[in-house]
Amino acid sequence: MTTSRPSISLPWDSIDTVLLDMDGTLLDLHFDNYFWAEYVPRCYAKKTGLSLTESKSKLADYSDRVRGQLEWYCLDYWSEKLALDIEALKKEVDHKILFRPQVIEFLDFLKTNKKRIILATNAHPKTLELKLMRTDFSGYFSVLSSSHEIGYPKEEIAYWEALTHKYTITPKRSLFIDDSLPVLQAANQFGIRYLLGIAKPDLQKDEVDCSPYTGIRDFSQLF
């Protein structure tokens, strides 16, 4: 049985800009979790002759070395590192790219209320392009920004300094929603005033703890 969620009141009159993450926020994180935890290890095992267990272990080790860095999100980096065409592999399972609940309704709400909407994602531009082909939400956004174009991942304060300068964003009049606690922490340290987490980024997994930030299960709680 679905449990109803309380509405979350936000001071919309004090918010000019809404910054939204993509994976795990707009889109179901199941695609990314499945792709990196299951599909890539299978393909890498087939290519190298490793067992699936060995492949997963090696990829986890590679991932841990660059976690939170731009390389971690970079398709070109992983294609070279693994000698696999990561972009092509993503296209093989892109039917799993899906919206999270109430995303379009929330974007309509923001547009109706004349909020400036900016996509702030760590996703590589090739990943962004692929996902827009499956779920085209671009028309709602004034800016589609990949951290690869900014030069820093969202986990770093330098990212927020560069992003807000480039797009003339006022931190104290901005709302940012993301499913990553390290990213929310960096945004908080920089001075983004209104912050929300995503309690269920992967719709096929249990909810996660967003503390110390308020977490939402879906966007219907906001409008």
Domain ranges within the chain, ordered by starting residue: 12-28+98-222, 31-95
The one-digit pLDDT tens for each residue of the chain (223 residues) are: 345 578 999 999 999 999 999 999 999 999 999 999 999 999 999 999 999 999 999 999 999 999 999 999 999 999 999 999 999 999 999 999 999 999 999 999 999 999 999 999 999 999 999 999 999 999 999 999 999 999 999 999 999 999 999 999 999 999 999 999 999 999 999 999 999 999 999 999 999 999 999 999 999 999 8
Residues 173, 13 contacting (CB under 8 angstroms): no
Q: How is domain 12-28+98-222 classified at the architecture level of CATH?
A: 3-Layer(aba) Sandwich (3.40)
**Strands across the sheet containing 116-121:** 143-146, 116-121, 17-20, 174-178, 194-198, 214-216
Looking at residue 2, its pLDDT comes to 47
Residue range 166-201, pLDDT digits in tens:
999 999 999 999 999 999 999 999 999 999 999 999
CA dist 23 and 32 (Å) reads 8
User: Cα–Cα distances in Å, from 37 out to 27, 53, 64, 66, 125?
Assistant: 17, 11, 13, 16, 21
Which of 183, 187, 198 is CA-nearest to residue 17?
187
- pTM (global) more than 0.75: yes
Strand partners, 119: 20, 144
Cα 65–chain centre separation: 20
Q: Give the closest residue to 24 by CA, choosing from 159, 223, 218, 221.
A: 218
Helix/strand/coil for 195: strand
Task: State residue 4's pLDDT score.
Answer: 57
Buried b (16+ CB within 10 A) or exposed e, 163-200: bbeebebebebbbbbbbbbebbebbeebebbbbbbbbb
Count Cβ atoms within 10 A of the Cβ of residue 141 and give its class: 0-12 exposed, 13-18 middle, 19 or more buried: middle
pLDDT tens for each residue of 77-104? 999 999 999 999 999 999 999 999 999 9
